[in-house]
């Protein structure tokens, strides 16, 4: 089992989904709910929007009725979260960079970053991993399979 | 021509050396396409179509169809090894397949997937060859109310997927329903929840969502927990790489379930292999003696959906060949291939082009055997992928995820959405929300809303249409039963305590 | 009729080409061309795009490879905005269809209209048939429309999006006859036909190629053609006008467009390429097998056709109660 994030995780999650439910219900209520020909585009979203609000409130309420489990009180693993967040940020940045740098370069740099920074490998190993992975992808997906991938200003 | 002489004629055609070779080529290409993301069977068939103009229609359709069902065999590989669905019909396989791999049973899971595919695939083909025309008539009796009931049954099964907290499972399901309604409303062209983005007009793609919440979030989780060196243990020795007798025995019911459910849902043009795999997984769990173990790596959880998506092939070919009606993108391109060769799929095809029809059917039997022979020896080989150190494997998974998402529509937007769903999946697993109901809601929600609105338009707003039709009524009753089944033991306990 | 149209078009095209100033540098592509379609593999535009490429390659008309590029989604919006972003790029063209015209009219997010792009050539018009199940009591268009009028709201038609041609045909027929029936949307052609064959709906506006085999085997009956003149393959079926319903026929055009700001020599190159491809054996076979009506138009006429169609669609859509945003 993965470690839980916060002590009051359910309350925070429940508040977020409740807010989403309110947003869905309000947005959907501007659309036709029941038209001449049958249910309109707002019919279904209003239904699940309201259900989402109710369930979220139950979730929040449960937190105050049920006793805290021992595990829920565990300290938050900031270090692990930091590693995941760094990985995610690197991934997101490389996705955005693909438009100008192209897939293979962005992917190679991402690999170097992950191997070197997140996994703490020596720079030489990281660089080698990045170059070899990118080259491997190029051989499989570009040369062998002709899959079209984002092309950068350098032409690949 | 009756069935037996037709089949005999078909085997004579399919065993011609050239046809046999094209069948092998198609099955092999299909397996490769299924394993690698970025190339779906539909795109591959479209790409190879011009090359088949010079071939005979029989050889051409045998090869292209081989790609179609071969891809379904290959799709489970990355689901099991990397928690990364190779095809949309292999998404459910992630749930138990990847957990089996985590327990060191990767080889067994791959083997079970291949065996289930073979058994259920063969069942679908036998059913196709024996009773294609009557089955096609039966499929036509299915209308929107029946589709609604089918989707409702599928959603009821979500209760069983919920895990520890029913409330959290239901919230995840509703999130899935919301995500699937993003885009243009089919009935009115009203755009819903698009935030002014033209890229969202067509909605979110299922593969982007599934790869995000399964593969990407698994990478983030594993990095956060510092699961160092090797991702998963790979036991040594051939025996540990193949399914054990106990595991196969546990799958007996799953083989039957996958075959029947996959075939029946396959013949419906409005459903498809991903829905078939979800429903058969749900049924497997509903009838299991240990439902609480699902999601922790039980072999039945791999056998049922993998069987269903292969039995689906035989089903999906029925409306295509007997009525000329394609059920999805891949069968649509097979249809246009047949038309280009001058073979006209339809009620008269069996009589007018017996070579093509029966040759194709016979080649399916042969192809299924070929695929089993192709796939089983590869199992130990694939399991070695897990020996790659994580600092190499994790970036590789990320790269493959990007290719999978980008190739959906060829735009960076989907890769950005993929990152978003990766974060969502990570947050959900940390907050202890199950992701399977979200994915299920995403698959079924759209079809369910559509079927409900179509039904009510047909009946001019009368809800009675959902309950007055026999098939629909029975399925809705099953859905209610499924919802209250888990409460039964508690109810009994109460009675015992009171009595 | 078609042939004469084609001939005149070709003559005028050749004349236009001959008249082009010879001093101008001629464009010849050196990089692979990208042909953008808005549907996934197997969809209507994708099939047409691949057939066009196959015909061009078979007749060896292009010095470079042409790749299909599926920019799926948004009813053409994704593909249209992709082409609009490639301003001045000589290596990108796309295949348009009627949703590229109607979609921007009703969707705020679909901001690229056909006027933003460079029309190259209209290529085909897809005819359609009004079909019922073979055992349906309605033997003619008049009987069907009378029944719809007698039972307002009771009858049903299966179709696609409310912007698609089948929905527009319903709108013009309803306006003409005063009848009213439900239009039930299904996402795929297979589901629409299944609903009709299963007897769950009463009628459908169907493409001839989808209907051909089902009519031949006696499962469907066509009551009328949505076309200006009878198709050679369906000589015995009257057009809507001949059946007594003189309504405008909403067209289903498909053709080739380029990005905005296309240089004249580039445009001339593509016009010539498409004109030759249109004559090729492979393309003619595609038209025959798909039961399509050929309609090759030069860029200027294509632009006029698109403008006229837009005006017509605008009228029909607002009549059917769809809210227009542009």
What's the CATH code of the domain at C56? 3.40.190.150
- So what's the pLDDT on residue A55? 93
Q: Does the pLDDT value for residue B307 go beyond 50?
A: yes
Is the alpha carbon torsion for C251, C252, C257, C260 positive or negative? positive
**Chain A nearest-CA residue for C70:** A148
Together in a domain, C218 and C283? no
- Coil, strand, or helix at residue A63? helix
Together in a domain, C256 and C121? yes
Task: Look at C200 and B340 and tell me if their CB atoms are within 8 Å.
Answer: no
Together in a domain, C158 and C116? no
Q: Which of B16, B69, B21, B7 is nearest to B44 (CA)?
A: B69
- Structural domain count, chain A: 2
CA distance B97 to chain A (A): 17
| C183 CB-near residues (< 8 Å, 6+ apart) | A37, C156, C157, C159, C162, C166, C167, C170
Distances (CA, A) of B300 to B96, B115, B297: 8, 12, 9
Task: Look at B143 and C198 and tell me if their CB atoms are within 8 Å.
Answer: yes
CA B258 to chain centre: 11
Q: Which residues of chain A have a CB within 8 Å of the CB of C69?
A: 148
Mean predicted confidence (pLDDT) in C280-301? 89
Query: Is the minimum CB–CB distance between A15 and chain B shorter than 8 Å?
Result: no
pLDDT confidence of B230, banded at 50, 70, 90?
low
The mean-pLDDT minimum among B29-38, B95-104, B409-418 falls in: B29-38
Residue C325 covered by a domain: no
pLDDT digits over B69-94, tens only?
A: 999 888 889 899 989 888 888 899 99
Question: Which of B171, B226, B416 has the CB atom closest to A17's CB atom?
Answer: B171
Domain boundary among A73, A100, A116: A73
Together in a domain, C114 and C190? no
Q: Which residues of chain A have a CB within 8 Å of the CB of C183?
A: 37
Mean predicted confidence (pLDDT) in B422-436? 91
Query: Is the minimum CB–CB distance between C30 and chain B shorter than 8 Å?
Result: no
- So what's the pLDDT on residue B288? 85
Probe site for chain C from B136, B184, B414, B461 (most C CB atoms < 10 A): B184
pLDDT confidence of B232, banded at 50, 70, 90?
low
Together in a domain, C187 and C208? yes
- Domain range enclosing A84: 78-144
Count residue pairs from A and C with Cβ separation < 8 A.
Answer: 5
- Domain range enclosing C193: 128-234
Phi-psi region of C34 (alpha: psi -120 to 50; beta: other; left: phi over 0): beta
Mean predicted confidence (pLDDT) in B157-166? 72
Domain boundary among A54, A73, A92: A73
Residue A152 covered by a domain: no
Question: Which of C42, C110, C191 has the CB atom closest to B329's CB atom?
Answer: C42
Residue C324 covered by a domain: no
Together in a domain, A43 and A91? no
Together in a domain, C39 and C87? yes
Task: Look at C182 and A148 and tell me if their CB atoms are within 8 Å.
Answer: no
Together in a domain, A59 and A101? no
Together in a domain, A112 and A90? yes
Together in a domain, A36 and A64? yes
Token code pair at residue B478: 């099953």
Q: Which residues of chain B have a CB within 8 Å of the CB of A88?
A: 220, 419, 422-423, 426
Q: Classify each residue of B148-160 as buried b or exposed e, where b means 16 or more C-beta atoms within 10 Å of its C-beta.
A: bbbbbbbbbbbbb
CA distance C232 to chain B (A): 18
Together in a domain, C230 and C285? no
What DSSP designation does A139 have? I
Mean pLDDT of chain B, nearest integer: 87
Task: Look at B332 and C201 and tell me if their CB atoms are within 8 Å.
Answer: no
Task: Look at A148 and C67 and tell me if their CB atoms are within 8 Å.
Answer: yes
Window C:259-278, CB contacts with B under 8 Å: none
Residue A95 covered by a domain: yes
Question: Which of C67, C69, C182 has the CB atom closest to A37's CB atom?
Answer: C182
Percent of chain B with pLDDT over 70: 93
Together in a domain, A49 and A83? no
Together in a domain, C214 and C273? no
pLDDT digits over B391-407, tens only?
A: 888 899 999 899 988 88
- Structural domain count, chain B: 1
Q: Which residues of C touch A (CB under 8 A)?
A: 67, 69, 182-183
Residue A154 covered by a domain: no
- So what's the pLDDT on residue C306? 93
Together in a domain, C40 and C156? no
Task: Look at B202 and C153 and tell me if their CB atoms are within 8 Å.
Answer: no
Query: Is the minimum CB–CB distance between A37 and chain C shorter than 8 Å?
Result: yes
**Chain B nearest-CA residue for C291:** B339
- Domain range enclosing B90: 3-498
Q: How would you class C311 by CB atoms within 10 Å of its CB: exposed for 0-12, middle for 13-18, buried for 19 or more?
A: exposed
Domain boundary among A25, A54, A73: A73
- So what's the pLDDT on residue B89? 87
Mean predicted confidence (pLDDT) in B470-492? 80
- So what's the pLDDT on residue A155? 72
**Cβ proximity of B145 and C184 under 8 Å:** no
Residue C242 covered by a domain: no
Q: Does the pLDDT value for residue C232 go beyond 50?
A: yes
Kind and range of the H or E element at C254?
A: strand C253-258
Together in a domain, A102 and A63? no
Together in a domain, A58 and A104? no
- So what's the pLDDT on residue B271? 83
Together in a domain, C50 and C193? no
Which residues make beta-bridge pairs with B389?
B230
Mean predicted confidence (pLDDT) in B471-496? 76
Residue A153 covered by a domain: no
Q: Which residues of chain B have a CB within 8 Å of the CB of C194?
A: 139-140, 142, 269-270, 319, 323, 325
Residue C7 covered by a domain: yes
Together in a domain, A102 and A61? no
pLDDT confidence of B350, banded at 50, 70, 90?
confident
Together in a domain, C198 and C149? yes
- Structural domain count, chain C: 2
**Cβ proximity of A72 and A9 under 8 Å:** yes
Together in a domain, C29 and C137? no
CA distance C17 to chain A (A): 34
């Amino acid at each position: 089992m993965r470690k839980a994030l916060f002590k009051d995780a359910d309350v925070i999650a429940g508040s977020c989904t409740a807010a989403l439910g309110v947003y869905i219900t309000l947005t959907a209520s501007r659309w036709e709910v029941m038209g001449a020909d049958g249910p309109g585009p707002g019919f279904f979203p209003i239904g699940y929007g309201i259900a989402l609000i109710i369930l979220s409130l139950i979730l929040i309420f449960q937190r105050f009725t049920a006793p805290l489990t021992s595990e829920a009180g565990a300290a938050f693993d900031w270090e692990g979260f930091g590693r995941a967040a760094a990985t995610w940020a690197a991934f997101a940045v490389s996705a955005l960079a693909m438009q100008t740098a192209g897939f293979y370069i962005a992917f190679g740099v991402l690999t170097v970053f992950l191997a070197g920074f997140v996994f703490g490998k020596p720079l030489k190993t990281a660089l080698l991993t990045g170059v070899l992975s990118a080259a491997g992808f190029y051989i499989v997906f570009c040369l062998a399979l002709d899959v079209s991938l984002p092309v950068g200003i350098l032409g690949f | 021509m009756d069935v037996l002489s037709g089949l005999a004629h078909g085997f004579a055609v399919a065993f011609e050396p050239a046809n046999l070779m094209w069948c092998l080529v198609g099955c092999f290409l299909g397996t490769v396409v299924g394993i690698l993301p970025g190339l779906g069977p539909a795109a591959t068939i479209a790409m190879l179509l011009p090359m088949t103009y010079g071939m005979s229609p029989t050889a051409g359709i045998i090869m292209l169809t081989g790609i179609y069902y071969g891809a379904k065999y290959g799709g489970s590989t990355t689901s099991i090894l990397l928690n990364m669905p190779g095809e949309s019909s292999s998404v459910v396989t992630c749930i138990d397949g990847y957990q089996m791999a985590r327990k060191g049973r990767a080889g067994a899971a791959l083997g079970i997937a291949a065996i289930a595919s073979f058994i259920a695939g063969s069942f679908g083909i036998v059913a196709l060859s024996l009773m294609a025309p009557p089955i096609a008539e039966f499929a036509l009796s299915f209308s929107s109310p029946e589709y609604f009931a089918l989707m409702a049954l599928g959603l009821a099964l979500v209760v069983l997927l919920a895990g520890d907290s029913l409330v959290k499972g239901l919230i995840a399901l509703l999130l899935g329903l919301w995500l699937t309604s993003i885009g243009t409303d089919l009935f009115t062209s009203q755009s819903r929840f698009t935030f002014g983005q033209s890229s969202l007009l067509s909605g979110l793609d299922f593969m982007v969502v599934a790869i995000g919440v399964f593969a990407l979030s698994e990478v983030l989780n594993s990095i956060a927990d510092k699961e160092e060196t090797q991702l998963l243990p790979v036991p040594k020795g051939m025996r540990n790489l193949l399914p054990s007798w106990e595991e196969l025995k546990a799958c007996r019911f799953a083989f039957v379930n996958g075959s029947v459910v996959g075939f029946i849902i396959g013949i419906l043009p409005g459903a498809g292999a991903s829905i078939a795999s979800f429903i058969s997984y749900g049924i497997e769990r509903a009838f299991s003696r240990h439902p609480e173990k699902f999601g922790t790596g039980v072999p039945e959880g791999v056998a049922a959906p993998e069987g269903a998506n292969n039995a689906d092939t035989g089903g999906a070919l029925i409306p295509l060949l007997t009525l000329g009606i394609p059920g999805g993108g891949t069968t649509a391109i097979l249809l246009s291939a047949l038309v280009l060769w001058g073979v006209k799929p339809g009620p008269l095809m069996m009589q007018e082009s017996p070579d093509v029809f029966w040759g194709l059917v016979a080649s399916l039997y042969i192809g299924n055997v070929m695929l089993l022979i192709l796939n089983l020896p590869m199992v130990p080989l694939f399991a070695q992928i897990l020996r790659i150190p994580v600092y190499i494997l994790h970036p590789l998974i990320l790269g493959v995820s990007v290719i999978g998402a980008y190739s959906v529509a060829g735009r960076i937007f989907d890769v950005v959405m993929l990152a978003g769903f990766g974060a969502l999946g990570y947050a959900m697993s940390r907050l202890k929300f199950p992701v399977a109901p979200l994915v299920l809601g995403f698959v079924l929600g759209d079809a369910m809303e559509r079927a409900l609105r179509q039904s009510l338009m047909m009946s001019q707003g009368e809800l009675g249409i959902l309950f007055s039709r026999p098939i629909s009524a029975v399925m809705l009753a099953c859905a209610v039963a499924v919802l209250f089944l888990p409460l039964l033991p508690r109810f009994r306990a109460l009675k015992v305590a009171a009595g | 009729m078609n042939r004469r149209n084609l001939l005149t078009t070709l003559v005028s095209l050749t004349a236009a080409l001959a008249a082009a100033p010879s001093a101008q540098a001629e464009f010849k592509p050196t990089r692979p061309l990208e042909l953008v379609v808005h549907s996934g593999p197997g969809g209507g535009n994708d099939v047409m795009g691949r057939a066009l490429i196959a015909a061009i390659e078979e007749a060896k008309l292009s010095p470079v490879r042409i790749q299909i590029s599926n920019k799926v989604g948004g009813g053409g919006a994704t593909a249209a905005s992709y082409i609009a972003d490639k301003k001045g790029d000589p290596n990108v063209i796309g295949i348009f269809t009627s949703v590229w015209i109607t979609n921007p009219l009703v969707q705020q997010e679909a901001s690229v209209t056909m006027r933003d792009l460079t029309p190259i050539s209209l290529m085909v018009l897809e005819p359609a048939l009004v079909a019922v199940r073979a055992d349906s009591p309605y033997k003619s268009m008049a009987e069907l429309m009378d029944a719809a009028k007698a039972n307002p709201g009771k009858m049903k038609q299966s179709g696609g999006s409310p912007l698609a041609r089948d929905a527009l045909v319903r709108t013009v027929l309803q306006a003409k006859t005063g009848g009213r029936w439900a239009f039930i949307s299904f996402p795929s052609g297979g589901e629409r036909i299944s609903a009709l064959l299963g007897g769950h709906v009463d009628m459908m506006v169907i493409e001839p190629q989808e209907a051909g085999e089902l009519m031949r085997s006696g499962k469907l009956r066509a009551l009328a053609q949505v076309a200006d003149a009878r198709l050679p393959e369906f000589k015995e079926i009257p057009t809507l006008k001949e059946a007594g319903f003189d309504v405008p026929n909403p067209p289903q055009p498909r053709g080739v467009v380029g990005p905005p700001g296309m240089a004249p020599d580039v445009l001339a190159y593509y016009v010539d390429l498409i004109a030759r491809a249109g004559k090729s054996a492979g393309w003619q076979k595609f038209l025959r097998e798909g039961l399509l009506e050929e309609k090759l138009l030069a860029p200027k006429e294509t632009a006029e056709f698109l403008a006229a169609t837009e005006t017509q669609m605008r009228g029909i859509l607002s009549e059917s109660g769809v809210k227009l945003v542009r």
